[in-house]
Structure 1
Amino acid sequence: MNRGVQIHRVSRVEACCRPKDWTWPRQNRAFIEENWARRTAGKPQMFNGRVLLLQDVTFGEDICRNTYFEVDYADFVAWIDKGYPDPDIANGFAMGALRGSDGAYICGVMGAGTTNAGRIYFPAGTPDLSDLRPDGTVDLATSLTRELAEETGLSEDDYRVDDEWIIVQRWPTIALLRTVTLPVTAEEGAAQIRANIAAQEEPELQDVRIIRGAQDIDQATMPLFLQSFFGWAFDQR
């Protein structure tokens, strides 16, 4: 698998879920349990549900195809914290590249009670069983809008979602982005989101950040795939 950064633009994403015998969790059960205890200390909202990890991603003519499998969230977190020891597995998730009508982007700052406290990126989440359809397909488009609603309080009436997908592949991270544009400026959108966060009982975000150009890329708090996306996006202007 190519470990460099690759960015693809496609009009279609197809995703499915297939069984996989992932041996790494069975071989590292003690570490997983200890890691989960450490991770959840003082964070009662974290729970060990089932999520979907990527076992394969391929590209065809104007299409990206993803194959997922089910794992425990604790296994997934331990795999990350251990440094991604299984190179054949990836974290593939849908993400809304939220921006204002002025073209400036809006990222969230993850709250203290979350797994990635203090990290800055667009609203997103690892796909879970709620994204899995009876025919075995994974609905990434709905995953994107759901995460936007949960983290920012924005509904689908508040923005426009582009049809095109931008796939940022920085293995073992595969971010499947769609541009999400508000009818108001980034400043106005940020103010609306802050008001929504303030009204939530257990907000996932503690704040938002506006990204207008390369000077706003925070290398300390933004994941590498997002830094790559912003570098690419600002080069397109």
Structure 2
Amino acid sequence: MPARAHNGLRVVALRRVEAVLEREPWAWARENHARIAANWDRRIREKPALFNGIVLICVSRAVEDGVLAVRLREADYASFLAMHDFGFPEPGVGNCFGVAALRSGDGAYLLGEMGAHTANGGKVYFPGGSLDRNDVRPDDSVDIAGSVERELLEETGLGPDTVTFDAGWTGVLDGPRIALLREARSDLPAEVMKARIDAFLAREAEPELSGIRIVRGRADIDIDTMPAYIVAFLESRL
């Protein structure tokens, strides 16, 4: 699949993703500590369940011959949220994350609606999440594929007994955001997969997802709740 534009976003087929953690501190976060703290106070009042853990931000990226190379640095979640809330104020710095594009045996995509207690409550996404220290290998390379597999299992209960991941990636480049989608295919029909995930969510004390949506065609794409990168990916597939 060649690179294609969808409402200003680039959808790019990738053979490989090479991600490396840089150990240098993020100067912008230190210089804007007071603004970040005030923003976090506002956020935590709105969503008391938020946790200020360590995540990874993207400080550089390059795509060449189907290979995406990204360099990442550590940041606390408060700084990460402030970066988003302030409109990505530092040139060249943004968010790179992996996503499981969950697809059923009858060709539908399954997405989750985020729970009200999460930072993006009510939004509809594929399973995925921010990269963090758990994804960093001893040599400082970052295991984005492992992150996607872990997030899928944590959010839906689906593991390697149910899904098989494609080898390549689809990158959706949206300004400072880079969504890396890898199709996770199952032989099960969409309704059976939804029932399994619903049962898993019912057993969880505080599930990240509040429900599952099935997308079989373009009529099922909801631009009001689905982020632009999700819409661009689905439009490139359906």
TM-score range, shorter chain: over 0.9
Shift of 1:26: 2.6
What is the alpha-carbon distance in structure 1 between the residues aligned to residue 204 and residue 50 of structure 2? 17
Q: Match of 1:128?
A: 132
Q: Match of 2:3?
A: none
Give 1:113's match in structure 2, choosing from 113, 117, 123.
117
Q: Match of 1:181?
A: 185
1:155-234 matched pairs, under 5 angstroms: 155-234=159-238
- Deviation by residue 1:188-235 (Cα, 9 ceiling, x = unmatched): 11111111001011100000111111111111111111111111112x
Moved more, 146-155 or 35-44: 35-44
Shift of 1:58: 1.2
Give 2:76's match in structure 1, choosing from 72, 76, 79.
72
1:6-21 matched pairs, under 5 angstroms: 6-21=10-25
Normalised by the length of structure 2, the TM-score is: 0.93
What is the alpha-carbon distance in structure 2 between the residues aligned to residue 150 and residue 44 of structure 1? 21
Alignment RMSD: 1.7
What is the alpha-carbon distance in structure 1 between the residues aligned to residue 46 and residue 195 of structure 2? 29
1:79-118 matched pairs, under 5 angstroms: 79-118=83-122
How many residues matched? 233
2:105 alignment partner, SS class: coil
4+ aligned runs moved over 6 Å, structure 1: none
- Deviation by residue 1:132-171 (Cα, 9 ceiling, x = unmatched): 0110100001000010011111122111111011111112
Is the 2:9–2:173 contact (alpha carbons within 8 Å) kept by the matching residues of 1?
yes
Can you give the 5+ residue segments of structure 1 that lack an aligned partner in the other structure?
none
What is the alpha-carbon distance in structure 2 between the residues aligned to residue 102 and residue 61 of structure 1? 32
- Deviation by residue 1:2-26 (Cα, 9 ceiling, x = unmatched): x942121122111111134433223
Shift of 1:79: 1.0
What is the alpha-carbon distance in structure 1 between the residues aligned to residue 24 and residue 232 of structure 2? 30
Is the 2:111–2:213 contact (alpha carbons within 8 Å) kept by the matching residues of 1?
yes
Q: Match of 1:47?
A: 51
Fraction of identical pairs, as percent: 43
**Amino acid aligned to 2:67:** I
What is the alpha-carbon distance in structure 1 between the residues aligned to residue 198 and residue 176 of structure 2? 32
What is the alpha-carbon distance in structure 2 between the residues aligned to residue 76 and residue 66 of structure 1? 17
2:92 alignment partner, SS class: coil
Shift of 1:43: 4.0
Can you give the 5+ residue segments of structure 2 that lack an aligned partner in the other structure?
1-6
**Amino acid aligned to 1:207:** G
What is the alpha-carbon distance in structure 1 between the residues aligned to residue 134 and residue 105 of structure 2? 31
